Structure 1
Amino acid sequence: IGTAVALGQLSEDVVKVLVRVQNDLFDVGADLSTPVVEDPEYPPLRVEQSYVDKLEADCDRFLEELEKLRSFILPGGTPGAALLHQACTVVRRAERSTWAALEVHGESMNALTATYLNRLSDLLFILARSANKEV
């Protein structure tokens, strides 16, 4: 995501979303590294539904500007789109790993982390399509 922001020649609106997402990902990492326990000594940082809601709102907003997909698309196009497709792939991999960890660790993990990663990969795909539309 940082590479896409630095080199992708993306719109200011897209960059603002991506910078927010980068900050959110620190929270996701903190949540994943802190087991869910009853009555913790210090309240841990947790991904909440509002994180997911923001991603869904971003998806809806950027999707409004795009034509409906009628077939599969090949990753690539503009440098920004290619980097966003790559970020999408990395996030999908992280999502699969998170779901696998949830199967093993269950209640000791916050399932919203996996939901967040799922919506983030959707958003990155939409933003990649949007980056290709802008040329």
Structure 2
Amino acid sequence: MKIYTKSGDKGETSLNYGIRVPKDDLRVEAYGTVDEANSFVGLALSLLPETGGDPAELERIRHGLKEIQTKLFHIGAELSTPEGKEVPWPIREEDVAFLEQEIDLMEEKLPPLAQFILPGGHPASASLHAARTVVRRAERRVVSLSSKIPLQAVVVRYLNRLSDYLFVAARWVNHLAGIPDAGLHEINKEVGEQKE
């Protein structure tokens, strides 16, 4: 099968069930942003250390991120399914519950969050922060889309909870790597000292 079909050369693309829409359609913008978020999650996965920290915890993060990639693919499929057609892999409340459970487990072992933190630290952590910001944008796109067409409310809940998960996972990866959070107050203090 060829990767290029030339069918999109005039600025249109196909939704599920072969329905054609312009490439700037709200649906395409929404599922395209979800796909972008999925790519950043994949980047973070590729940057996770093979060793160091707790191997069981690293494997837990690895498993969680792979599960999230699958669910983001499912959300993309749902967003590209026209009204009245069957959604192939609907997102469910238990998918949101999985994220909440993982967040709680990580937060139990993390130091309390006392200030705003800056993205960075371990490359995998920085990538998780990047994924988080793209998920937030995807959530905004889906909210815009949901004002035009009916969507499952759980999709927005999943994306909202996912951005929380990615934030905590970014902190957790730094924690496992022995890298403290880069607190905004501390960075401001360092910058002030350098200027003096």
Task: Give the alignment's TM-score, normalised by structure 2.
Answer: 0.62
Q: In the alignment, which residue of structure 2 is the partner of 1:125? A: 167
Q: Is the 8 A contact 1:63 1:126 kept in 2?
A: yes
Residue 8 of structure 1: CA displacement?
A: 2.8
Task: Say which structure, 1 or 2, has more relative contact order (CA 8 Å, 6+ apart).
Answer: 1
Q: In the alignment, which residue of structure 1 is the partner of 2:15? A: none
Q: Is the 8 A contact 1:31 1:110 kept in 2?
A: no
Q: Is the 8 A contact 1:32 1:110 kept in 2?
A: no
Letter aligned with residue 134 of structure 2 = V
Q: In the alignment, which residue of structure 1 is the partner of 2:65? A: 18
Give, in whole Å, the separation in 1 of the partners of 2:60 and 2:78: 27
CA offsets 1:21-70 (integer angstroms, 9 cap, x no match)? 11111111111122453xx5x56421111111111111111111112211
Identity of aligned residues (%): 42
Runs of 4+ in structure 1 deviating by more than 4 angstroms, as ranges, are: none
Q: In the alignment, which residue of structure 1 is the partner of 2:156? A: 114
Structure with the bigger percentage of helix: 1
Give, in whole Å, the separation in 2 of the partners of 1:8 and 1:83: 10
Deviates more, 1:56-65 or 1:4-13: 4-13
Letter aligned with residue 32 of structure 1 = L
Give, in whole Å, the separation in 1 of the partners of 2:156 and 2:93: 12
Matched, 1:32 2:79: yes
Larger-gyration structure (1/2): 2
Give, in whole Å, the separation in 2 of the partners of 1:9 and 1:78: 9
Q: In the alignment, which residue of structure 1 is the partner of 2:142? A: 98
Structure 2: unaligned runs, 5 residues or longer: 1-40, 51-57, 179-196
